[in-house]
Structure 1
Amino acid sequence: MDRRLFGLGAVASLAVAGCGSRRQVSRFKIYDGPEVTSVVVNKGARKVYLLHGDDILREYKMDLGFAPQGAKQIEGDGKTPEGLYRIDRRNPNSSYHLSLGISYPNAEDRAQARAMGKPPGGQIFIHGEPNNPKARKRAARVSDWTAGCIAVSNEEIEEIYAMVKDGTPIALRA
């Protein structure tokens, strides 16, 4: 086959393949700045801080559980935990855009709930907005709409997801 004919055919194929395709922006960002050595959640200020040592790298506004006052004690109480935990998992297929898991409940949380005769709950995450359109509209209308998680915007969770590694300590404070 003539090289020119082959080259023209290849160019034409690529041009046709490119027609009608939309440029998709990946939700998986790349971060190459200073390591995030800890995450601090200040429930009262409604802020999430990503730190490198004592330096604040990023700060985000957040929403909490539907009953934000006090520490989470049992499943279904609508509270966001307080205490020291770790980021222990990530979910790229979350119902909330992206999410990072928090190691709640720890042994102390389980013992406290057991003493009350109740389960401690779990599945606490830092996450983005709901993927479900109806849930997203509701979340946009109210603050503190989660069941105990920490919610930020989709753009913010993309950045947090890229910056925070599994095992990073997280302090959740009143």
Structure 2
Amino acid sequence: MKRRIFLLGTITAFLSGCASRFRDYNGPQVTRLRMYKDERLLILDGVEGELRRFPIGLGFAPVGHKQFEGDGRTPEGAYIIDRRNPNSEFHLSIGISYPNEADVAFAESHGRSPGGDIFIHGGPRRGIDPMNVRDWTAGCPSVTDRQIERIYAMVQDGTPIDIYP
């Protein structure tokens, strides 16, 4: 009986380790991210060039630069990865520094909020596959859960991200 409990505990510990969403990455440093909205593509670059590429989904209004809270658009321009959320409602997520000073000034000049909380994230826990429902977010770039696990491990806070139309 004790042997059976021990084996069951060992198997459970092993399987839970395999299911971890936190991956290790020991490769070249990611020095820049490039996102091409029209192509629905995220590229992770290192010093020597491209390291990885991932297909992405966008906000429900994918054309144009994000200007106001609730517009469903994904920002365009130069930002940085400024935070990470291991407890994201969308599996894992890394934050994009939107809004910058120009974004805030533009929105305020129109008496509006620029919005915020733009993250690259995985799929929701509600069962939507972000690659089968192309542009489903409120403005965030989305990838699959497996892909955000890789991105989360590879990309450090402070990494620049350029987002192109």
- With normalisation by structure 1, the TM-score equals 0.87
What is the aligned counterpart of 2:81 among 70, 79, 87? 87
- Relative to structure 1, the CA distance from residue 121 to residue 14 in structure 2 (aligned partners, 3 Å threshold; closer, same or farther) is farther
- 1:118 matched to 2:136? The reply is no
Match for residue 173 of structure 1?
164
Mapping for residues 155-166 of structure 1, pairs under 5 Å? 155-166=146-157
What do the CA deviations read for 1:49-72 (whole angstroms, capped 9, x no partner)?
000036110000000000000000
Match for residue 57 of structure 2?
63
Match for residue 138 of structure 2?
147
Structure 2 CA distance, aligned partners of 1:171 and 1:140?
A: 22
- 1:48 matched to 2:39? The reply is no
What do the CA deviations read for 1:98-127 (whole angstroms, capped 9, x no partner)?
000010001110000001110000000000
Letter of the 1:67 partner, please give it: A
Residue ranges of structure 2 left out of the alignment (5+ in a row): none
Q: Percent identity?
A: 51
Bigger radius of gyration among the two: 1
Residue ranges of structure 1 left out of the alignment (5+ in a row): 1-11
- 1:17 matched to 2:6? The reply is yes
Report the aligned-residue RMSD. Answer: 1.6
Count of aligned residue pairs for this structure pair: 160
What do the CA deviations read for 1:11-40 (whole angstroms, capped 9, x no partner)?
x75651331653122110000000000001
- With normalisation by structure 2, the TM-score equals 0.91
- 1:130 matched to 2:121? The reply is no
Match for residue 96 of structure 2?
102
Structure 1 CA distance, aligned partners of 2:74 and 2:52?
A: 21
Contact 1:95–1:132, Cα closer than 8 Å, also in 2: no
- Relative to structure 1, the CA distance from residue 128 to residue 16 in structure 2 (aligned partners, 3 Å threshold; closer, same or farther) is same
Cα shift at 1:143: 1.2
